[in-house]
Amino acid sequence: DDKVEKSLELLQRMMHQYESGNVLARPDTDVYNSVLNACAKCFSKDEKIRRNAMRVAIETVQKMREQAKEEGRGVKCKPDATTYRLLLEACRNLLPAEGGEREKAVEAVFNRCCLEGYVDTEVLEVFQKIASPELYRKRVLLIVTGGEG
Q: pLDDT truncated to tens, each residue of the chain (149 aa)?
A: 699 999 999 999 999 999 999 989 989 999 999 999 999 999 999 999 999 999 999 999 999 998 888 876 666 789 999 999 999 999 999 999 888 999 999 999 999 999 999 999 999 999 999 999 999 998 887 776 666 54
- Give dist(CA 55, CA 101) in Å, integer: 14
The pLDDT score that the predictor gives to residue 1 is: 65
Phi, psi of 118 (to 5 degrees): -110, 15
**What is the total residue count of the chain?**
149
CB 64, CB 79: distance < 8 Å: yes
What count of other Cβ atoms lies within 10 Å of the Cβ of residue 108? 12
Contact criterion met (CB below 8 Å) for 3 and 41: yes
Residue 142 confidence (pLDDT)? 72
- Give the global pTM: 0.91
In angstroms, the Cα distances linking 112 to 61, 79, 88, 118, 149 are 12, 10, 11, 9, 11
The residues near 113 (Cβ < 8 Å, ≥ 6 apart) are 81, 84, 119, 123
Contact 50, 72 (CB under 8 A): no
